[in-house]
């Protein structure tokens, strides 16, 4: 079976800085793939390339058998590949519900149906009680979940989550892990950038570690986090992995 | 989509009908007072223009200070069609609206790539360039302008010479129709997505929408309304010249009226026009000849006051605490302030601050 997503040697530099260097990997439908690596490793840039927000200097991205490099990000999203932002970007003058309705509207439904879909998705991420509150009031953790609900409302096939556990307090980590597993069970393929290695261990089928723009290790969470190069990468950065 | 009947209290509806009744009857009192009649007509006209501006500037958050362009294009289209080809002014109004819309969409193609201040400046530059072209273009009368040939008065010719009250009713009708249309637009899918674009364009893109498409739609509606207003103005004064319909002051006034009243609301531009048109008309009388400069002084001062104290305009006052309490008592809060899309959700959960 051909992979749902194939990333083929993508590179991107900003000025002289190689943010992403010749990264390649495949992702099969139904898989959860984690991407780890210290800050500045190029993870978010790689996500931007896949989602059509950053144009790579070289390389190709094939989604569902079709090259999507050069498509604008809205066209990529309409194909069913949706990405959340590392720093959540809720619609600030809207309520939680309205935020998610925007996602639902991309399915070409009317407002009434969009509202029904949105309520359902808010319920999925555990924010149903907040439906009427202004999104501007959301805590960091709520924003993360709100953005997931908004993306889910578009009915994506592949969901890219940039640090979904950032700002989520400890009890909610369990709930979030469980949510993402449920999403996978419902048929959504997930590509997740994550710092929280404990969550990564419980969640993913496979991990890719990045450092200085390169993919330096790939395998199960166990093998990758014990890989000396990966440990060295984390130790070499100011950030210390908490595991 | 219908709201619950509770969400539209009788109070609000009867208030609106009362206001409309007063406005319909007003000419009985001011028909023989040219100054007041003219002022009322100008208030309606600028309210229509402010509503039009607000679709792009308020609903979609793309602030333009070049909207005089579309007003002028509408006015010139009707006048040129009448003078050069003998076209009826009502057809001229259709043509002026369509041409202004089309030009708006074309201007949007390069300008919508720009954000924030750059967009504002681009709209200004485009409008100023067209203004300069019209001052030297012989075929459109250059700086001297063109007079509309006087015809026998009546509804078909859209000209009224002795009694100007028909202009009053035409302008009022335009305002009612435009406001009702925008009330619907705000509640529609398009209005909803425009709000999202105003909040965060990148996030809207990431969900699969083309912001350019929706901004172009907003522009088409916005510029079209300005175009129709321009045709009305030409029929009212029977004359166009670059300064009076394409001048920068038109663009600034339109934007200011909407911003002062409150962007993104339906009442804002009407409120803005109702306050600023009389201000400008009275200053013209009291400081005769140089009145226009005094206008500008006042406008400049108002811009500073709004920027410092009330970035959301006079309608923002409605959101201050004492006013909110009063609105709650009258049951009007949801009508005036709440976003139109969330009426049907049960009350009672999660309003704790
Ligand atoms: N738009 C940009 N312009 C310039 N440099 C950038 C840009 N985006 C990212 N970078 C740089 O590229 C590198 C990788 O960043 P990023 O992909 O955000 O890393 P990560 O998500 O792994 O923390 C960093 O050094 C960052 O400063
Ligand atoms: Mg990042």
- Running DSSP on this structure, what letter comes out for residue A91? -
Q: Are the C-beta atoms of residues B167 and B236 closer than 8 Å to each other?
A: yes
Which has more confidence, A84 or B276? Answer: A84
Task: Return residues 260-289 of B near A (CB < 8 Å).
Answer: none
Cα gap A9→A56, rounded to integer Å: 10
pLDDT category at B180 given cuts 50, 70, 90 is: very high
C-alpha span between B137 and B134 (Å, rounded): 5
Are the C-beta atoms of residues A230 and A38 closer than 8 Å to each other? Answer: no
Looking at residue A174, its pLDDT comes to 86
Using a pLDDT cut of 70, give the percent of chain B over it: 80
Decide: A230 and A34 in contact? Cβ < 8 Å: no
**Torsion-angle region of A15 (φ positive above 0: left; ψ -120 to 50: alpha; else: beta):** left
One DSSP character per residue, B88-151 reads -HHHHHHHHHHHHHHHHHHHHHHHTTS-HHHHHHHHHHHHHHHHHHHHH-GGGTGGG-EEPPP-
Contact B192 A133 (CB under 8 A): no
Res. B225 pLDDT band, cuts 50 70 90:
very high
Residue with the smallest CA separation from ligand 1 atom 18 is: A44
The confidence score (pLDDT) of residue B261 equals 83
Chain A touched by B352 (CB under 8 Å): no
Q: What is the pLDDT of residues A117-172, one digit of tens each?
A: 999 999 999 999 999 999 998 988 899 999 999 999 999 999 999 999 887 777 77
Please report residues of A whose CB lies closer than 8 A to that of B200. 89-92
**Cα-trace Rg, chain B:** 21
Which atom of ligand 1 is found nearest the CA of A193?
21
| Average pLDDT of span B132-156 | 91
pLDDT for position B344: 37
**Rounded CA gap, A7 and A192, in Å?**
15
Q: Which ligand is nearest to the CA of A45?
A: 1
Residue B19 covered by a domain: no
Is pLDDT of B337 > 60?
no
pLDDT of residue B30: 87
- Residues in chain A with CB shorter than 8 Å from the CB of B210 are 72, 74
Residues pairing with B72 in the sheet: none
Please count the other Cβ atoms lying within 10 Å of the Cβ belonging to residue B178. Answer: 24
CB B146 within 8 A of CB B140: yes
Classify residue B40: in a domain, yes or no: yes
Q: Is B238 left (phi over 0), alpha (psi -120 to 50) or beta?
A: left
Q: How far is residue B34 CA from its own chain's centroid?
A: 24
Residue B350 within a domain: no
C-alpha–C-alpha distance, residues B122 and B32, integer Å: 44
Residue B329 falls inside a structural domain: no
In a domain, B254, yes or no: no
Cα(A17)–Cα(A213) distance, rounded to whole angstroms?
Answer: 9
Residue of chain B whose alpha carbon sits nearest to that of A80: B208
Whether B346 maps to a domain, the answer reads no
B281 pLDDT band (50/70/90 cuts)?
Answer: confident
So what's the pLDDT on residue B186? Answer: 93
> Among B7-16, B62-71, B169-178, B259-268, whose mean pLDDT is lowest?
B7-16
Locate tokens 């793309």: which residue? B62
On the 0-12 / 13-18 / 19+ scale of CB atoms within 10 A, B49 is buried
Tell me the pLDDT of chain A averaged across its residues.
91
* Letter string b/e over residues B4-37, b meaning 16 or more CB atoms within 10 A of that residue's CB: eeeeeeeebeeeeeeeeeebeebbeebeeeeebb
| Number of structural domains found in chain B | 1
For residues B3 and B141, the model is more confident at B141
Query: Which of A14, A48, A208 gets mutated to test ligand 1 (max ligand atoms within 8 A of its CB)?
Result: A14
Calculate how close chain A gets to B327, using CA atoms only, in Å.
19
pLDDT of residue A241: 45
In the predicted structure, residue B4 carries a pLDDT above the cut 60: no
pLDDT at B5: 46
Q: Which residue in A97, A102, A111 is closest to B196 by CB distance?
A: A102
Helices (H), A4-42: none
Compute the average pLDDT of residues B131-154. 92
A74 in reach of chain B (CB within 8 A): yes
Contact status, residue A122 vs residue A198, Cβ threshold 8 Å: no
Q: Which residue has the tokens 């993508």?
A: A10
What is the pLDDT at residue A25?
Answer: 96
Mutate to test the interface with B, among A93, A108, A119, A152 (most CBs of B within 10 A): A93
Confidence band, pLDDT 50/70/90 cuts, at residue B55: very high
Q: What is the mean pLDDT of residues A11-37?
A: 95
Which residues in chain A touch residue B339, judged by CB atoms under 8 angstroms apart?
93-95, 98
**Pick from A49-63, A186-200, B117-131, B270-284: least confident:** B270-284
A51 C-alpha vs ligand 2 centroid, how far in Å?
A: 14
Residues A100, A121 contacting (CB under 8 angstroms): yes
Separate counts of helices (H) and strands (E) for chain B: 17, 2
Measuring CA to CA, which residue among B269, B96, B240, B342 is closest to residue A122?
A: B342
The model's pLDDT over A201-215, given as tens digits with 9 standing for 90+, comes to 889 999 999 999 999
Q: How large is the average pLDDT for residues B43-64?
A: 95
Separation CA B77–CA B90 (nearest Å): 12
Which pLDDT does position B276 carry in this prediction? Answer: 86
Is B255 domain-assigned?
Answer: no
The alpha carbon dihedral of A47, A53, A57, A62 has a sign of: positive
Q: List the structure tokens of B176.
A: 């009612």
Report the pocket of ligand 1 as residue ranges, CB < 6 Å. Answer: A 14, 17, 19, 37, 39-45
Beta-carbon contacts of residue A122 (< 8 Å; ≥ 6 apart): A96, A97, A100, A128, A130, A131, A149
CA pair distance A33, A30, nearest whole angstrom: 10
> Quick check: is B276 in a domain?
no
Is residue B310 over pLDDT 70?
Answer: no
A53·B196 Cβ contact <8 A: no
Of A72, A102, A112, the CB nearest to B207: A102
Choose the most confident range, by mean pLDDT, from A58-67, B11-20, B240-249, B305-314. Answer: A58-67
Q: What is chain A's Cα-based Rg?
A: 17
Q: Would you say residue B253 has pLDDT above 80?
A: yes
The DSSP secondary structure of B249-276, one letter per residue, reads HHHHHHHHHHHHH-TT-SHHHHHHHHHH
Do the Cβ atoms of B350 and A133 come within 8 Å? yes
Q: B44 — phi, psi (to 5°)?
A: -60, -45
Determine the pLDDT at residue A170.
72
| Residue B124 structural domain | 33-246
- Greater pLDDT, B2 or B271: B271
Does residue B336 have a pLDDT over 90?
no
The predicted model scores a pTM of 0.87
List the single range of A134-148, B77-91, B301-315 with lowest mean pLDDT.
B301-315
Whole-angstrom CA distances from A103 to A147, A149, B173 are: 9, 8, 37
Q: Which residue has the tokens 């359902």?
A: A120
Check CB contact of B344 with chain A, cutoff 8 Å.
yes
pLDDT reading at B312 higher than 70: no
């Amino acid at each position: 079976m051909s992979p749902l997503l194939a990333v083929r040697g993508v590179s991107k530099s900003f000025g002289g800085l190689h943010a992403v260097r010749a990264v390649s990997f495949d992702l099969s439908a139904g898989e959860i793939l984690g991407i780890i690596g210290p800050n500045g490793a190029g993870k978010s840039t790689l996500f931007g390339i896949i989602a059509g927000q950053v144009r790579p200097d070289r390389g190709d991205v094939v989604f569902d058998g079709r090259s999507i490099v050069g498509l604008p990000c809205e066209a990529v999203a309409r194909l069913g590949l949706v990405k959340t932002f590392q720093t959540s970007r809720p619609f600030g003058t809207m309520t939680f519900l309205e935020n998610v309705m925007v996602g639902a509207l991309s399915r070409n439904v009317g407002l009434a149906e969009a509202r029904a879909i949105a309520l359902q998705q808010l319920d999925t991420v555990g924010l149903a009680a907040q439906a009427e509150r202004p999104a501007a009031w959301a805590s960091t953790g709520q924003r993360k979940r709100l953005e997931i609900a908004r993306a889910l409302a578009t009915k994506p096939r592949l969901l890219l989550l940039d640090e979904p556990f950032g700002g989520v307090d400890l009890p909610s980590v369990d709930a979030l892990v469980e949510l993402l597993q449920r999403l996978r069970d419902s048929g959504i393929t997930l590509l997740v950038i994550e710092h929280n290695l404990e969550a990564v261990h419980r969640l993913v089928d496979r991990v890719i570690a990045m450092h200085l723009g390169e993919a330096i290790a790939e395998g199960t969470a166990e093998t990758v986090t014990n890989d000396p190069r990966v440990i060295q990468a984390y130790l070499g950065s100011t950030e210390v992995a908490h595991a | 989509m219908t709201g619950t009947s509770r969400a539209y209290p009788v109070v609000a509806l009867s208030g609106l009908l009362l206001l409309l009744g007063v406005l319909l009857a007003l000419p009985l009192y001011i028909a023989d007072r040219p100054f007041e009649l003219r002022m009322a007509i100008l208030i309606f006209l600028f309210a229509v223009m402010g509503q039009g501006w607000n679709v792009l500037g308020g609903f979609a958050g793309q602030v333009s200070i070049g909207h005089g362009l579309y007003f002028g294009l509408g006015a010139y289209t009707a006048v040129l069609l009448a003078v050069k080809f003998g076209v009826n002014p009502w057809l001229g109004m259709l043509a002026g609206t369509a041409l202004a819309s089309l030009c708006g969409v074309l201007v949007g193609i390069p300008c919508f790539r720009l954000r924030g201040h750059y967009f504002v400046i681009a709209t200004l530059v485009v409008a100023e360039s067209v203004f300069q072209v019209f001052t030297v273009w012989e075929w459109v009368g250059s700086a001297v302008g063109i007079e509309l040939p006087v015809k026998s008065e009546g509804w078909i010719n859209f000209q009224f010479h002795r009694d100007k009250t028909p202009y009053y009713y035409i302008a009022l009708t335009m305002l009612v129709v435009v406001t009702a249309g925008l009330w619907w637009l705000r509640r529609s899918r398009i209005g909803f997505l425009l709000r999202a674009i105003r909040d965060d364009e990148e996030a809207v893109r990431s969900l699969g929408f083309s912001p350019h498409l929706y901004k172009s739609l907003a522009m088409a509606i916005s510029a079209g309304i300005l175009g129709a207003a321009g045709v009305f103005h030409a029929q009212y004064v029977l004359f166009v010249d670059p300064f009076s319909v394409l001048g920068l002051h038109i663009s600034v006034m339109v934007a200011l009226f909407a911003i002062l009243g409150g962007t993104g609301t339906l009442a804002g531009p009407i409120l803005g026009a109702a306050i600023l048109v009389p201000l400008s008309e009275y200053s013209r009388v009291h400081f005769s000849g140089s009145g226009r400069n005094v206008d500008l002084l006042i406008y400049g001062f108002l811009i500073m006051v709004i920027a410092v104290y009330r970035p959301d305009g006079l309608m923002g006052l409605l959101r201050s605490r004492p006013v909110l309490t009063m609105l709650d008592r009258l049951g009007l809060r949801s009508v005036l302030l709440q976003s139109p899309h969330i009426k049907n959700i049960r009350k009672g959960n999660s309003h704790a601050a």
